[in-house]
Structure 1
Amino acid sequence: MEARRPIAAAWIEAGCWVILLGMFAGLCGRILSYPLNRDENLFVTAAAMVFGNDLYTDLGYNHLPYLAWGLGAIFRLSGTEHFLLTGRIVICLGWLATLLALRLIAFQLSAGFTAFFCAACLFLGNVLLLGSAGMLVSNNLLPIPFALFALAALIRGMDEENPSPVACFIAGLAVSCAIGLKANYIVVAPVVFLATVLAPPTRPAAARFSQASMPLALGGLVGGLPVLVLVFRDPGGFFAHTLRYFTQLQPAYWAASHEPKVVGAAAKVLLAESIWGANTALLAMVGVAGLIALPMMRGAPVRARAMIADWPVVLCLALALLGFVVAFVPSPAFPQYFVPPIPFLILAVIALRARCETIDRPPARALLATLALVAMTGSASRLAPGLIQLARPAAWAPNALHRDLRALAREAGLSPRARAATLTPVLALEAGLAVPREFAAGQFVYRVAPFIPADEAVHYTTTSPRHLEAYLEQSAPEAIVTSGEETLEEPFDTFARSHGYEEFTRRRGGHTLRLFRKPITD
């Protein structure tokens, strides 16, 4: 009987890997079939145009630069003209990298396969991430694998018996990359640095500083150096787009807008409750509470306190707590702002399971298996259709858009790289057209243009709803492209029709793609 148990365990583990492979395949199908979103117009277009243009003053990018640079390098090296498809594949790889980071951390902490499997199901099944936050070519998902690999490197670097300054350097580098993708992850930096100062307590403070804190700080400096160069080269333009855009222009726009929005503490709490108080975020909290409760239920509160006090557990919980706090800072609030605490909550489940005593491991295994089963069940309605979608590449949203837009450009007789005015620049890129710098950020700079102070206008290349007609008359673009989804696009349609542009259309997803060609004159 004893000889059969390892064989049975191996078969169970193999079955779990098959389940994860199926979930990941369904996820990829969902990503590749997800409709184009307005956020992607900023990220994809900036990446496609980053070489040869100033990312901020010319293109109106409003985040830290690493996604635009990295994705732009992929576009350039691959020579692709399938910009949206390539970006979506990068997002698939981001999910895969996150799963690998979770597996690595579970192995490093000796948490066991069940802990990793549970964490993977909690991550793959998270409804927020299975929405636009994790499906789109944006900076919402991609910082997560960098942050988790940073923690993996930190765990290796702070090993009590064999510390590694090189691993701590890599951890600092990865933290800077996460921040360079999304500024919200700046909260990770002080927490991991403090961890190197205080832990492990068995090592002398001087050794912790020289072997962990200093290499970590050096890695962070090296990783953040490109951003520092940008700051020193053009501080006005950099901060106008990355700081004042979010603290001044966007609030001014939303204050004047009649669109539904979440503002005020009460509304944000309700939004947070709908995200963190449901699906796998709630399951992760149950996992954390349940693992801590196991020793307490058998009358060992000292052991429970020791589990909580273990430095990897403290680190994960502290990062989750700061993620909760940071999510409430931007206003108005959007669901993607509530992503940061989720991976660290899930990671806390792994860290706590690693500190379970032998007597608590069977119930811990049962708890984690139950959470994984619930996560799988809750995500099936989203991931299962993805398996069918993955097998139909012709129907993937990026491929369908590329095919339709190229067909429209051919029907219109437009030459490659003809200039196209548009607030949905990804459509123009997929059609093989050139996007004027004024529209490289999609609607994100255009819509706040009326609120740009006169003394900061020099940092922006844009037009505005008020000056659009004059701009189009003066620039006379060869084409105008609209998605049919945004009310801000209506003046583009009106101008094209009133100025004799010939209209070519395709019907997609309840909306009409329109390409207008400039009238041909003798």
Structure 2
Amino acid sequence: MRDRAVSQAGSGRRRAVLWLLFGGLLAVMLAALFGRIMSFGLRRDELMFVAPAELLGQWRLYQDFFYNHVPDSAWYFRGLYLITGQEGLLGSARLGVFLGWIALIGGTGWVTWRLSGSALLAAFFIAVLMVDGTLLAQAGMAASNNLLPLPFVVWGVGGFLLETQRDHPRPVVFVLIGVCLSIAAGMKVSAVVFIPPVAIATFLMPGHMAFAERVRRVTLPMLAGGLLGALPLFWNMAVDPTVFIAHVLKFHTGPHVAYWQANAASEPDLALGLGGKVQLAYSVWLGGAALVCLFVVAYLAVLARSGGMLLSELGAVLLVLVLIAVTAAFSFVPSPGFPQYYIQPLVMIPLLGALVFRKVGPEQRSQVTPVLAAGFVLLAVLGAPRLVPGLAALSDRSGFTTTRVAQGGEALKAALESSAHPDGPVATIMPIYPLEAQLPVYPELSTGPFAYRIAPYTEPDLATKYVMADAAGLQAVFDSNPPSAFLLGYDPALEQPLLRYAETNGYQPVEISGLGNRYGQGVVYLKPSGATE
């Protein structure tokens, strides 16, 4: 008995040491992830997603400025900005992305552990997400709506899988599941594809309940939660449905596609046709960490073949497979294709692996451990080149992109003191700098170049739904409300009408540091305060 107690005590200490090591490694990886997010180069999409955090303090979404996505991410960034404004406009938004990462890996770890019963497998799936090359690029680093739906999807779908295994499912949990899935769709419209399969599954799962009871305890509570989570969508649609639809749907199916078809040469790797999209999907789904993950799940499936499945377990697996198939198919719908459009199926693979692991017999699970160990080694090799620089970036906060953008905004603000129109808006297709310093901008350019550049490709009726102006329209805007300054140098072709107006009207270039990013070195054009009109 004493030997048995000593053995159990030794085993407990080993588990404690392993958990301590994993906790320390996870903390280091999170720190590296935070450093990478904050130092990741500015992306053009952030002009659209970050700007509302400042603009919503004075203007209405859709009605007063252009915004081509569903509203939840805009209000999420706005709320964080109000709470953490000391981090700056971009800084608070990037912090919001980091919080999204914590929710994503926390949800994935919790759900896969509860489904599989294996902490090691859950740790492996967490590592897969944290070193995935696509998620460590623009899709998961920039302040946008690409990563934000994923935590709600994992908590929603994972919660459904867990709760339907209970003998007495709790209706309140299905309310929360409905809220999660609706919020995901409110963050990014493509996440709506998760809802129909899960909604249909509420009529079929859990299989041990009578149909009427299932509807009462599962379907209706999830419907109530879905309606509750969709309130921001309903409110924006109720305010002005035609304007909402014009921004969220018609933009992406009309002028957005036309613009890229006419300017495909500006993006050499643009995926407009099916062939390009297939190649892009291949690189996201069958490369790097994703391929390692798929190999492990396939290996688990081989080991689990002889175990057989209960009807309820088969239903859970089929649901996840349907979700993978539906989200994968929907990834090919948007045109043009970008890597971030293909990430949604990735978060379902760990759930599938956890379900399959349940059917691996105890005598075969010992075979899984060395495979997972090898997987961890491969993931470390794949993730180190991206995460180690993020860890190094923490040693010098001044090197953060968020810090440099905030400093650039302050330098711009100081320069405007010598402007002939110090209170006028800043004219620029890079409004992150003036907004960072809480300077006024033109509504037509307040979320970057997205509305301005599609003006020639937008039908007149649709154009009336947008706060936008073409080159001639901007001249009239500038005449009626002269700019305090022009901030140019990020897209010479697109900025040509603005530069021409600045030079024609006596604005002169002024050297200001801190306005450079991956798109160019910003140049400020000011009209000196003593200049005549």
Q: CA deviation at 1:269?
A: 0.8
1:132 equivalent in alignment to 2:141: no
Q: CA deviation at 1:483?
A: 5.0
Q: How does 1:250-269 map to 2 (within 5 A)?
A: 250-257=256-263, 258-260=265-267, 261-269=270-278
Picking from 154, 158, 164, the partner of 2:170 is 164
Q: CA deviation at 1:208?
A: 1.5
Tell me which residue corresponds to 1:12: 18
Contact 2:115 2:355 in 1 (8 A): yes
Picking from 436, 461, 469, the partner of 2:475 is 469
1:188 equivalent in alignment to 2:197: no
1:279 equivalent in alignment to 2:288: yes
Tell me which residue corresponds to 2:346: 342
Picking from 343, 348, 368, the partner of 2:372 is 368
The worse-fitting range, judged by mean Cα deviation, of 417-426 and 131-140 is 417-426
Q: CA 1:486 to 1:333, structure 2 compared with 1: closer, same or farther past 3 Å?
A: farther
Tell me which residue corresponds to 1:517: 526
CA distance in 2, matches of 1:486, 1:381: 33
Picking from 503, 507, 510, the partner of 1:497 is 503
Q: CA deviation at 1:99?
A: 1.3
Contact 1:251 1:331 in 2 (8 A): yes
Q: Which amino acid aligns with 1:267?
A: G
CA distance in 2, matches of 1:183, 1:310: 29
Q: CA deviation at 1:256?
A: 1.5
Tell me which residue corresponds to 1:290: 299
Q: CA deviation at 1:78?
A: 4.4
Q: CA deviation at 1:437?
A: 0.9
Tell me which residue corresponds to 1:356: 360
Q: CA deviation at 1:118?
A: 0.4
Contact 1:406 1:431 in 2 (8 A): yes
The worse-fitting range, judged by mean Cα deviation, of 343-352 and 503-512 is 503-512
Picking from 482, 502, 506, the partner of 2:513 is 506
Contact 1:108 1:155 in 2 (8 A): no
Contact 1:66 1:177 in 2 (8 A): yes
CA distance in 1, matches of 2:492, 2:447: 15
CA distance in 2, matches of 1:454, 1:119: 49
Contact 2:47 2:430 in 1 (8 A): yes
Tell me which residue corresponds to 1:384: 388
1:222 equivalent in alignment to 2:228: yes
Contact 2:203 2:219 in 1 (8 A): yes
Which structure 2 segments of 5+ residues have no match? Answer: 1-5
Contact 1:103 1:116 in 2 (8 A): yes
1:444 equivalent in alignment to 2:453: no
Contact 1:156 1:164 in 2 (8 A): no
Q: Secondary structure in 1 aligned to 2:296?
A: helix
Tell me which residue corresponds to 1:144: 150
Q: Secondary structure in 2 aligned to 1:481?
A: strand
CA distance in 2, matches of 1:19, 1:315: 33
CA distance in 1, matches of 2:289, 2:260: 31
Deviation readout 1:161-185 (Å, 9 max, x if unpaired)? 2311000000000100000000111
Q: CA deviation at 1:254?
A: 1.3
Q: CA deviation at 1:108?
A: 2.6
Q: Which amino acid aligns with 1:14?
A: L
Q: CA deviation at 1:81?
A: 7.3
Picking from 108, 119, 125, the partner of 2:114 is 108
Contact 2:304 2:357 in 1 (8 A): no
Q: CA 1:277 to 1:468, structure 2 compared with 1: closer, same or farther past 3 Å?
A: same
Q: Which amino acid aligns with 2:153?
A: A
Tell me which residue corresponds to 2:3: none
CA distance in 2, matches of 1:467, 1:188: 41
Q: CA 1:154 to 1:483, structure 2 compared with 1: closer, same or farther past 3 Å?
A: farther
1:405 equivalent in alignment to 2:409: yes
Deviation readout 1:70-97 (Å, 9 max, x if unpaired)? 2112223445471000000111111011
Q: CA 1:154 to 1:61, structure 2 compared with 1: closer, same or farther past 3 Å?
A: same
Q: Secondary structure in 2 aligned to 1:476?
A: coil
Contact 2:309 2:359 in 1 (8 A): no
The worse-fitting range, judged by mean Cα deviation, of 349-358 and 227-236 is 349-358
Contact 1:293 1:304 in 2 (8 A): no
Contact 1:294 1:360 in 2 (8 A): yes
Contact 1:117 1:372 in 2 (8 A): no
Contact 1:449 1:464 in 2 (8 A): yes
Q: Secondary structure in 2 aligned to 1:448?
A: helix
Q: CA deviation at 1:232?
A: 2.7
Contact 1:307 1:313 in 2 (8 A): no
CA distance in 2, matches of 1:470, 1:417: 18
Q: CA 1:163 to 1:307, structure 2 compared with 1: closer, same or farther past 3 Å?
A: closer
Q: Which amino acid aligns with 1:321?
A: A
CA distance in 1, matches of 2:138, 2:489: 18
The worse-fitting range, judged by mean Cα deviation, of 131-140 and 273-282 is 273-282
CA distance in 2, matches of 1:337, 1:447: 22
Q: Which amino acid aligns with 2:274?
A: A
Q: How many residues of Structure 1 are paired with residues of Structure 2 in the alignment?
A: 517
Picking from 94, 106, 113, the partner of 1:88 is 94
CA distance in 2, matches of 1:14, 1:417: 56
Q: Which amino acid aligns with 2:488?
A: T
| TM-score calculated relative to the size of structure 2 | 0.91
Deviation readout 1:373-403 (Å, 9 max, x if unpaired)? 2112201000011111022111111111211
Q: Which amino acid aligns with 2:524?
A: L
Q: CA deviation at 1:316?
A: 2.5
Contact 2:177 2:222 in 1 (8 A): yes
Tell me which residue corresponds to 2:399: 395
Contact 1:480 1:516 in 2 (8 A): yes
Deviation readout 1:124-182 (Å, 9 max, x if unpaired)? 01000100110011000011111111124324542422311000000000100000000
Q: CA 1:414 to 1:55, structure 2 compared with 1: closer, same or farther past 3 Å?
A: farther
Q: CA 1:81 to 1:468, structure 2 compared with 1: closer, same or farther past 3 Å?
A: farther
Picking from 217, 223, 247, the partner of 1:241 is 247
CA distance in 2, matches of 1:229, 1:136: 28
Q: CA deviation at 1:230?
A: 1.9
Q: Secondary structure in 2 aligned to 1:459?
A: coil
Q: Secondary structure in 1 aligned to 2:471?
A: coil
Tell me which residue corresponds to 1:317: 321
1:421 equivalent in alignment to 2:434: no
Q: CA 1:102 to 1:235, structure 2 compared with 1: closer, same or farther past 3 Å?
A: same
Q: CA 1:470 to 1:418, structure 2 compared with 1: closer, same or farther past 3 Å?
A: closer
Tell me which residue corresponds to 2:218: 212
CA distance in 2, matches of 1:162, 1:391: 51
1:153 equivalent in alignment to 2:159: yes
Q: Secondary structure in 1 aligned to 2:140?
A: helix
Q: Secondary structure in 1 aligned to 2:207?
A: coil
Tell me which residue corresponds to 1:178: 184
CA distance in 2, matches of 1:483, 1:282: 40
| TM-score calculated relative to the size of structure 1 | 0.93
Q: CA 1:519 to 1:169, structure 2 compared with 1: closer, same or farther past 3 Å?
A: same
Q: CA deviation at 1:412?
A: 3.7
The worse-fitting range, judged by mean Cα deviation, of 450-459 and 407-416 is 407-416
